[in-house]
Amino acid sequence: MRVFIDADSCPVRVREIVCKAAKKRSFLAIFAANRPIPLPKNQNVQFIQVEEGEGKADAFIKEQVGVGDLVITRDIPLAAELVKQGPLVINDRGELYTKENVRERLSIRNFMKELREVGLYESPLGGYGKKEVKAFAATFDRILTQLERQSNKGRD
């Protein structure tokens, strides 16, 4: 089991939770970004710096990820593509993207983007605080446990 993190916009607190879990539960956490990201020294944490350019970290993740892996990303278009490939995908707020809900989320995202572009909607300043961290941590732990169980069944 591997956990891929679209690290370009990943909150510090999420990085900390993932790194701590990688060490404790012995899985590989792979952070991909087009700029250096501060991470702790940990044999279970790997940083891949991709070349500069939009979508380069996304392309790396899509190329490397497989069934039985987990991806953490804020990028809904990336999540929509990944869900088709088979890994589990969550965002930094603990929302699980599924084949059933990702199209709707993508449609809403695209609609809101269009409204912003023509000046009909201004995004409220939504913070990332304790509530969001707690939701992420709970979902992350639940999914790690689920993936570990599936992995152990495969060994039996």
What six digits make up the tokens of 24? 């404790």
pLDDT value, residue 155: 65
pLDDT value, residue 110: 78
**Cβ–Cβ < 8 Å for 25, 70:** no
Overall average pLDDT of the 38-60 stretch: 94
Give pTM, 2 decimals. Answer: 0.88
Q: What is the DSSP letter of 8?
A: G
pLDDT value, residue 49: 97
Overall average pLDDT of the 113-138 stretch: 84
Helix (H, G, I), strand (E, B) or coil at 29: strand
Domains of the chain: 2-155 (3.40.50)
**Cβ–Cβ < 8 Å for 68, 151:** yes
Q: Residue holding tokens 């279970």?
A: 44
